[in-house]
Structure 1
Amino acid sequence: MSVAVLGSGPVGQTAALLLARRGVPVVLVDEHEVRDPVGSKAICQQRDTLDVWASLGAGCLVEEGLTWTTARTYHRGQELFSLKLPDAGSALPPFVNLSQARVEEVLDELIAAQPLIDVRRGHRVTGLTQPGRVVVECATADGPRRIEADYAIACTGARGDAVRRALGLHLAGVSFRDLFLICDIRADLPGWAAERRFHFDPPWNPGRQVLIHPCPGSQFRIDWQVPDDYDLSAEESGGALDTRIRAIIGSVPYEVVWRSVYRFHTRLVPRMRAGRVLLAGDCAHLVAPFGARGLNSGVADAVNAAWKLAWVLRGEAGEGLLESYHAERHAAAVENAAVTTATMDFLVPQDDAQRARRLDVLTRAATDPAACEQVDSGRLAEPFWYTGSPLTTPDPSRPFAGRPPRGAVPPPGPGILLPDVTVASGRLRDLARPGFLLLTTPGVDPGGFRSAEIPVGGALGARPGEAWLVRPDAYVAAVLSDPSAAEVEAALRRATGS
């Protein structure tokens, strides 16, 4: 009984740790001998991602990360509006900014202390077959190697072509023409540490955008949209990069810590399950980074995959549960693609009509608060809601009203992630993680099922006489208004894909 996790970025690391915590031996494979410790890369870690990492013992990431609470938006140098991020009653911040390199370092320490995880570095995946089990072919400095496992989670990133090709899958979609220049700088900029700043068409990058994120250690990440023929080397050697940076920060001393140029994509594989292989993270979906939906959705993939594989390997569920991984996480990928595509259409208009609309919205937003709601610099990452999942038992009295306003979450109910609230014995989500959790309101007897009385009825909006069935990933599987043993059994069977 084992799972091969291919790729040891944060998504693969999270998957490996979650599997090991459930007693599943893991072979963690990565092509790199050592990590690259430089560069911010994915920096925005959302509250529910932090919650998962804290449950694994990486609570220090919350403490080390820089918490920002205000998002400011400008047009041609004039501030249009600012938004305060809601706290949602959680002990965790809405977001922290922390470099991917530091996240990987902390998760590596946890992996090194986990005897069920066998790390194989310097193993580049060259092929994959499924003759009953998963057989992974790897190239190493000492020659070819073969790794066998019962299942695999492919977290090999955007460049995981060998895995996708072996599975007959392709990252279909579009690539955006403009490039984006990213610089990490270290500077003393008082008042900037708790704010994300987004500039539309600033005088120092006319016709394009600039995004500024604070990071720990007096570092700031600056993203410029630049033309597709942009030459970073020429700009550095000619002094234009210094001019570009000083146009934003002024004459204060600074140090360039890291810089790179990226092209953004919106691409999805058609299937996130191929036999005994589940695809996760950038190996399965690529989206533009505005809104921080890349890494955060990849961690959600890992959470979904890990508990389902553990249940299948223990013989507690079958093919239906594995297939639900595709049903739930591909729907999440489609949602993220739709949200980020709408953002990119606003940031980088594709035709005259889109350009005219954007200019109209930004011009009106200077004086009209209603127009501010139409300004799209990225809807920040949020959980996906499994209200349409085959595992979710619907409740007609709690219909899902669709995507809520930016910064809001739906009220608790079937398919919704439990709110992150504290109870007498700890955090409510932590009570769910060992297995399925049945919560009951006072006086309810589920008939043969062990249950815990709901200590947070107000936070859940639970009604008298109800029982709430919660999955191991802390999503609500069912809310039962007449919780007989038969109804609980039926909801549990549905939630395990039976």
Structure 2
Amino acid sequence: MSRRRVDPVVIVGAGPVGQTTALLLARWGVPSIVLDRRARRDEVGSKAICQQRDVLDVWETVGAGSAIAAEGVTWSTARTFHGEHELFSYRFTERGRPAFPPFVNISQTRTEEILDERIAAEPSIDVRWDHRVTGLAQDDEGVTVTCGTETLRASHVVVCAGARSDDLRSLLGVGFDGQSFDDRFLIADIRAELPGWARERRFYFDPPWNPGRQVLIHPCPDSVFRIDWQVPPDYDLEAERASGALDARIRTIVGDAGHEVVWTSVYRFHSRQVDRMRVGKVLLAGDAAHLVSPFGARGLNSGVADAENAAWKLAYVLHGWAGEDLLESYHDERHAAAAENLAVTGATMDFLVPPDELRAQRRRDVLARAATDETVRPHVDSGRLAEAFWYVDSPLTTTDPTRTFGGRPERGATPPALPGVLVPDAPVHTAGGPTRLRALARDGFLLLVAGDVADGLVPDVSGPVRVLALADLDPDGELAAALDARPGEIWVIRPDAHIAAVLSPDEAHLVPTVLARAVGMPVPQEEPCPTTAAPGPSRPSATPSSAPTTAGSTTRS
């Protein structure tokens, strides 16, 4: 059956967020045009280096996650120092058995190169450099995108053109409120041999070689270390380089070890968020929608989560499996995620750069006591590292009174599996061979049954829905334990691997209602026993274009 003919999605910005959006849309069979105002890609500097496990999972669905992880430096320990004395360290935990380590460090430049290789293999992605967008005019059928004297027609637009998107935000009429911090931060990528430092992140409060301020050190591939120094507002990099003070600054850390300065930059932190992430047929993503300080690696990582959320919802709308109203949930979910990131990074910045004497005194007290008092250490804030956001309050999520969200988990931990949370990952067995749960989930909606699959459980709805028995996938019970699955339960998992609902055996009749809610369709307030959701247009195939089918599963399209 032929697919509905639609205009491509236009993606503004060819950075990692734009690249990911285009690749995910291609996986769903949706063509895109990627526009970038630059003449070519910038191929210098580490930029965003810290790629989180859940983001590697997303990139693995488009064939890039394993390549990025293989080249990156794996680390799972975060150490925090006051002066030169270590206060504490912690390791990351995860339910299930993930495919990737908690983080890998690799330069944004290399990440972009690997994603470009995947884009080059996708004929449905058209990348155009030297195209500055100067107009966005919406109508009932789509968006007219103007680039100087050239115009393009798009079904929808995703704006991920980075922090300097003021002109595009102005075209859309969205605010971008927040604050900017006075202190600057100096980045230096240093190539050196530093034994023992290659597998951990180090954060120093008030070290003797940067008194009164902070230093962050991350390992990178090829014996490169990314060092961030907090420096005064009037810091002059070129003057320090010319005087030899930059070399002296570096030697206070690397000592007599031979070193090479690979790249340097000075930047200023901002905490800002747009008031709307959806304006009609235009979605804003990544730094174009929100800016956070880098302590916690929540910039690029949250932008990739924006991309995945936008891509599956655009695909469902464009294939006719959901109505345009589904896109409003993009704003609901990702605006809430951005607010959480701002809250977390804002608290970190208040600790790093106290805005008043009261908070400065509190910081001094906490750092002094943390050396000997374990109960104080959770209050030492060097950055809560990136984590997947929890859509527990989303209009797409069906709550479970027996599984309630306990709020932000402890640093380095993940919440238990419940509606709104990213499903734990683990190896699974299918008739088609071994794979992973999150890979299966990202093929469409997945109904995971902790018992026998009942006849007629698959509702007559549009789009890919697959029903699989947990025992068949997980004969050893590893995944069932990670889920804490109860006999007969039905776990409904979204195309972005977040849990939409967990139903008890006597709630099986609510599956159509749960699925309708999860694609943004209105459902009755009291949720009476439904029969089926109204069928929509047929889809071209049961799974995304590059996703494997699973033999023996029950699928509805």
Query: Shorter-chain TM-score category?
Result: over 0.9
Aligned partner of residue 338 in structure 1, secondary structure: helix
In structure 2, the residue matched to 1:70 is 77
Is 1:126 aligned to residue 167 of structure 2?
Answer: no
Indicate the larger mover: 86-95 or 156-165: 86-95
Q: Distance in 2 between matches of 1:205 and 1:484?
A: 60
Is 1:397 aligned to residue 410 of structure 2?
Answer: no
In structure 2, the residue matched to 1:436 is 445
In structure 2, the residue matched to 1:491 is 514
In structure 1, the residue matched to 2:34 is 28
Q: Distance in 1 between matches of 2:354 and 2:44?
A: 33
In structure 2, the residue matched to 1:157 is 162
Shift of 1:401: 0.9
Indicate the larger mover: 358-367 or 122-131: 122-131
The residue type equivalent to 2:130 in the other structure is G
In structure 1, the residue matched to 2:179 is 174
Against the structure 1 CA distance between its residues 394 and 484, is the aligned structure 2 distance closer, same or farther, given a 3 Å change threshold? closer
Q: Distance in 2 between matches of 1:34 and 1:77?
A: 43
2:244 to 239, 245, 248: 239
Task: Give runs of aligned pairs for residues 86-485 of structure 1, distance below 5 A.
Answer: 86=93, 88=95, 89-132=97-140, 133-139=142-148, 144-425=149-430, 426-445=435-454, 447-449=456-458, 451-454=467-470, 455=474, 456-482=479-505
Shift of 1:170: 2.5
Q: Distance in 2 between matches of 1:410 and 1:77?
A: 33
Q: Distance in 1 between matches of 2:364 and 2:393?
A: 37
Q: Distance in 2 between matches of 1:220 and 1:209?
A: 16
- Residue deviations 1:305-358 (CA, integer Å, cap 9, x gap): 000000001111113311000000000000000000000000000000110000
In structure 2, the residue matched to 1:55 is 61
Shift of 1:87: 5.3
Gaps of 5+ in 2: 1-5, 459-465, 522-557
In structure 2, the residue matched to 1:79 is 86
The residue type equivalent to 1:422 in the other structure is P
Shift of 1:486: 3.5
Preserved contact between residue 218 and residue 227 of structure 2 (Cα < 8 Å): yes
- Residue deviations 1:249-295 (CA, integer Å, cap 9, x gap): 11111111100000001000000000000100000000000000000
Q: Distance in 2 between matches of 1:165 and 1:275?
A: 15
- Residue deviations 1:92-115 (CA, integer Å, cap 9, x gap): 100000000001000001101101
Shift of 1:147: 1.7
Shift of 1:365: 0.7
Preserved contact between residue 467 and residue 483 of structure 1 (Cα < 8 Å): no
Preserved contact between residue 129 and residue 166 of structure 1 (Cα < 8 Å): no
Shift of 1:80: 1.2
- Residue deviations 1:193-243 (CA, integer Å, cap 9, x gap): 012111101111111000011100000011000010011110000111011
Aligned partner of residue 236 in structure 1, secondary structure: helix
The residue type equivalent to 1:57 in the other structure is G
Shift of 1:444: 4.6
Is 1:44 aligned to residue 50 of structure 2?
Answer: yes
In structure 1, the residue matched to 2:544 is none
Aligned partner of residue 73 in structure 2, secondary structure: coil
Taking only aligned residues, the RMSD between alpha carbons, in angstroms, comes to: 1.2
Q: Distance in 1 between matches of 2:82 and 2:429?
A: 48
Q: Distance in 2 between matches of 1:217 and 1:129?
A: 47
Q: TM-score, normalised by structure 1?
A: 0.97
1:19 to 25, 32, 42: 25
Q: Distance in 2 between matches of 1:201 and 1:52?
A: 37
Aligned partner of residue 248 in structure 1, secondary structure: helix
Q: Distance in 1 between matches of 2:381 and 2:313?
A: 36
Preserved contact between residue 186 and residue 231 of structure 2 (Cα < 8 Å): yes
The residue type equivalent to 1:443 in the other structure is D
Q: Distance in 2 between matches of 1:437 and 1:302?
A: 20
Preserved contact between residue 73 and residue 197 of structure 1 (Cα < 8 Å): yes
- Residue deviations 1:362-414 (CA, integer Å, cap 9, x gap): 00011111111110000000000000000000011111111110111111111
Q: Distance in 2 between matches of 1:379 and 1:68?
A: 15
Q: Distance in 2 between matches of 1:83 and 1:441?
A: 34
The residue type equivalent to 2:449 in the other structure is T
Q: Which aligned segments of 4 or more residues in structure 1 are displaced greater than 3 angstroms?
A: 482-486
Q: Distance in 2 between matches of 1:374 and 1:483?
A: 45
- Residue deviations 1:429-479 (CA, integer Å, cap 9, x gap): 111112111111113526341620013322211111211111100111111
Q: Distance in 1 between matches of 2:174 and 2:106?
A: 33
Preserved contact between residue 68 and residue 111 of structure 2 (Cα < 8 Å): yes
Preserved contact between residue 447 and residue 485 of structure 1 (Cα < 8 Å): no
The residue type equivalent to 1:262 in the other structure is Y
Q: Distance in 1 between matches of 2:361 and 2:159?
A: 42
Shift of 1:86: 2.8
Identity among equivalent pairs (%): 63
Shift of 1:171: 1.6
Indicate the larger mover: 193-202 or 285-294: 193-202
Shift of 1:91: 2.6
Q: Distance in 2 between matches of 1:389 and 1:209?
A: 37
The residue type equivalent to 2:411 in the other structure is R
